[in-house]
Structure 1
Amino acid sequence: MSELSPTQQASGLAKSVPLELVNSINQLAQSATPAKLLSEAERDSLKTKIKALLKEKNAQIVAHYYVDAELQALAEETGGKVADSLEMANFGAQSDADILVVCGVRFMGETAKMLSPEKTILMPDLEANCSLDIGCPAKEFAEFCKQYPDRKVVVYANTSVEVKAIADWVVTSGNALNIVNHLKEQGEKIIWAPDRHLGHWIQKETGMDMILWQGQCIVHNEFQVYELKSLKEKHPDAKVLVHPESPEEVVDLADVVGSTRVMIEAVRDLPDQEFIVATDLGIFYKMQQLAPEKKLIVAPTASKDGHCISCAHCPWMAMNGLENLYHCLRDSTGEILIEENIRQKALASVNRMLEFSRQAGLVKANK
């Protein structure tokens, strides 16, 4: 790939994800099999069995805000954790459990294994992936980075362990602004991957010299500005909460822009009674738990033709369910394994993130 012009660099343009890879990601998303629907009796039986296995095997559940509400509730009931990816990583590293069951997507399981190699890390379904991870292949990204040896490589947590092994820093949506501002103060320039919308927002907020890999999240990329404007007209008193992985014109309509935790805290703390939420609808469980009296409205993903790929819910997150959670605990299936040399390389960038975040007060010590 040829060197970018100064104009391209200033505007943050970089290599686009090939169309065939975009099409492949969409096909994988559409073919992802959601967890099986169960009767109330089946769900109750499975939860009883899972709780027994957690005690028997000294295991804990670590669940992301985007998985099914029943899994989030089960994690909390059994002493596990429901959190964003940064808090999940921090909790897992400090846990005394022998087994961590990560209800989320694959990169979250890999991060848990990186930080806790002595623990067994299980996932209900190892095929639960992430469009940002798939859209940033390690080999191609490594070749891209070689063209800019004077730049620090900063990658989003939604990447494979192999991509993290290339990076100088790993960040999440909750700490990216702080870390990029820190690097700017150090006089650094950076390569950013993989989410182009989040990268562009950070670039605007910080003024950092950034070259952006052009990946995108299939959930957040689908939020529609025209339809959001129409929804705002119907709900003029509603505050709009937007995750920065969303397109710029959607972010521009937001009252609050931020990570999952920022949006949850906004619903809890702001006096407003209505919120339009532009992120995965799995987050509604925690929002409603903290502010049950408030009205939450899903931001529109379908365009005027009524078509959407994700419809505000990650198809890979939806693969996590009670049945496959039970099976992975019972049979020790879905184990995350990482080559040690890759783990060590990736661990350096993840530890750098965690140490910075702890010093900056962005994560709390586990209790």
Structure 2
Amino acid sequence: MNPIEIVQQEYPFPAKPIALTDVEKQEYKQRIKSLLKEKNAVLVAHYYTDPEIQALAEETGGCVADSLEMARFGNQHDADTLIVAGVKFMGETAKILTPQKTVLMPTLEATCSLDLGCPVDAFSAFCDQHPDHTVVVYANTSAAVKARADWVVTSSIALDVIDHIDAEGKKIIWGPDRHLGGYINKQTGADMLLWNGECIVHDEFSAKALKDLKNVYPNAAILVHPESPASVVDLADAVGSTSQLISAATTMDNDTFIVATDRGIFYKMQQANPGKTFIEAPTAGNGATCKSCAHCPWMAMNGLKAIEEALMDATGHEVFVDEALAEQAMKPLTKMLNFAADAKVKVKGNA
């Protein structure tokens, strides 16, 4: 593994949405429900959005899932319009897989540090320097970066794909998450060059603070998303994608879990396991910074007010992907989907 030089990047965080009263929340929910019916629209929400958004998606016949499953649900649903509560690359993926439908987002300003940290021009230049490498990118990337790749993968299928490429004797460029790439490299031993990217949420988890918390809850199992630093992953009782962590919380015998991923996932974990206790892995103290405090600031932009605004007027909310770019990006996505079908691997779970 030869990662490029690691330089910690800083990203401007968006302003937090204005808090609504309980009365206002109910009013917005009722109006959104009416608008979804009026527009023949369906709401799909990511696991990392706020619980009230996930609940609203479920209540209205939508879904709560990872980004690829969100897009596939929208593709198969008979709605004319998809409203994607997540971050921009998720809306782009939905549009690529469902070009005939209108795809809206509560705000097009909701982005991702993995996307921001992997601009297509710089990434393409890096790939051009290593033309003998197969380019594999995580789903948490822009449509343009996907279009530059040979493969697109989710975190749950990445190990299988990298194993497959490695077995063919090929060298690999991995982007953009260096932690996930490092984890995969350690598991597979593949010849990989890693792009220098990170999820600001997972990057903040602290091994020292996590050990201290484990001492307080010695019987708790530690669940870790592999976008976390290796020192945190090494402490895990289970490592996996969003869907895999939810499954682990359900199947493991422990009644208490310390969870190192975005706290938005607690909604589905608690829904599936009402008798179990879930605790956020530390992002403050002992070297951690709590800049994100275990919740993506861009995911938090998906508020009820913004959803209503998108349904009322699509201007400034509709996702467009250039047709030629979408066609090119579809190739590595299709390759992954075909690989998953052939291997009978259920593709679930990205950031």
Task: Tell me which interval the TM-score lies in, with the shorter structure as reference length.
Answer: over 0.9
Ranges in structure 1 where 5+ consecutive residues have no aligned partner: 1-10
Tell me by how many angstroms 1:355 deviates: 2.3
**Equivalent in the alignment of 2:39:** 57
Does residue 1:181 correspond to 2:171, yes or no?
Answer: no
**Contact 2:156 2:347 (C-alpha < 8 Å) held by counterparts:** no
**Contact 1:90 1:363 (C-alpha < 8 Å) held by counterparts:** no
- Post-superposition, which runs of at least 4 consecutive aligned residues in structure 1 deviate over 6 A? none
Partner Cα distance (2:100, 2:258) in 1 = 42
Partner Cα distance (1:364, 1:257) in 2 = 16
Partner Cα distance (1:158, 1:50) in 2 = 28
User: Are residues 71 and 362 of structure 1, via their aligned partners in 2, closer, same or farther at CA, if it must alter by over 3 Å?
Assistant: farther
User: Are residues 80 and 362 of structure 1, via their aligned partners in 2, closer, same or farther at CA, if it must alter by over 3 Å?
Assistant: farther
Partner Cα distance (1:315, 1:364) in 2 = 26
Identical pairs, percent: 56
**Contact 1:165 1:343 (C-alpha < 8 Å) held by counterparts:** yes
Q: Which moved further from structure 2: 42-51 or 195-204?
A: 42-51
2:331 partner amino acid: A
User: Are residues 364 and 187 of structure 1, via their aligned partners in 2, closer, same or farther at CA, if it must alter by over 3 Å?
Assistant: closer
Partner Cα distance (1:255, 1:154) in 2 = 27
**Equivalent in the alignment of 1:70:** 52
**Equivalent in the alignment of 2:275:** 293
**Equivalent in the alignment of 2:219:** 237
Q: 1:8-157, aligned counterparts within 5 Å?
A: 11-16=1-6, 22-23=9-10, 25=11, 28-29=12-13, 32-157=14-139
Ranges in structure 2 where 5+ consecutive residues have no aligned partner: none
Partner Cα distance (1:363, 1:55) in 2 = 31
Tell me by how many angstroms 1:342 deviates: 1.0
Does residue 1:344 correspond to 2:331, yes or no?
Answer: no
User: Are residues 257 and 50 of structure 1, via their aligned partners in 2, closer, same or farther at CA, if it must alter by over 3 Å?
Assistant: same
Tell me by how many angstroms 1:357 deviates: 2.3
Partner Cα distance (1:220, 1:252) in 2 = 14
Tell me by how many angstroms 1:12 deviates: 2.9
Does residue 1:198 correspond to 2:180, yes or no?
Answer: yes
1:214 partner amino acid: N
Partner Cα distance (1:364, 1:312) in 2 = 25
Tell me by how many angstroms 1:271 deviates: 1.2
User: Are residues 216 and 336 of structure 1, via their aligned partners in 2, closer, same or farther at CA, if it must alter by over 3 Å?
Assistant: same
Tell me by how many angstroms 1:351 deviates: 1.6
User: Are residues 206 and 364 of structure 1, via their aligned partners in 2, closer, same or farther at CA, if it must alter by over 3 Å?
Assistant: closer
What is the CA deviation profile of residues 84-118 of structure 1, one whole-angstrom value per residue up to 9, with x for unaligned ones?
12211221222221100000000000000111111
User: Are residues 15 and 340 of structure 1, via their aligned partners in 2, closer, same or farther at CA, if it must alter by over 3 Å?
Assistant: farther
Decide which of 195, 207, 223 is 1:213's aligned counterpart: 195
Partner Cα distance (1:308, 1:213) in 2 = 24
Decide which of 271, 274, 277 is 2:256's aligned counterpart: 274
Tell me by how many angstroms 1:308 deviates: 1.9
1:12 partner amino acid: N
Tell me by how many angstroms 1:183 deviates: 1.4
1:255 partner amino acid: D
**Contact 1:90 1:354 (C-alpha < 8 Å) held by counterparts:** no
Q: Which moved further from structure 2: 255-264 or 90-99?
A: 90-99
Tell me by how many angstroms 1:364 deviates: 7.7
Partner Cα distance (2:254, 2:288) in 1 = 30
2:3 partner amino acid: L
TM-score by length of 2: 0.95
**Equivalent in the alignment of 2:339:** 356
User: Are residues 330 and 174 of structure 1, via their aligned partners in 2, closer, same or farther at CA, if it must alter by over 3 Å?
Assistant: same
Task: Give the root-mean-square deviation of aligned CA atoms.
Answer: 1.5
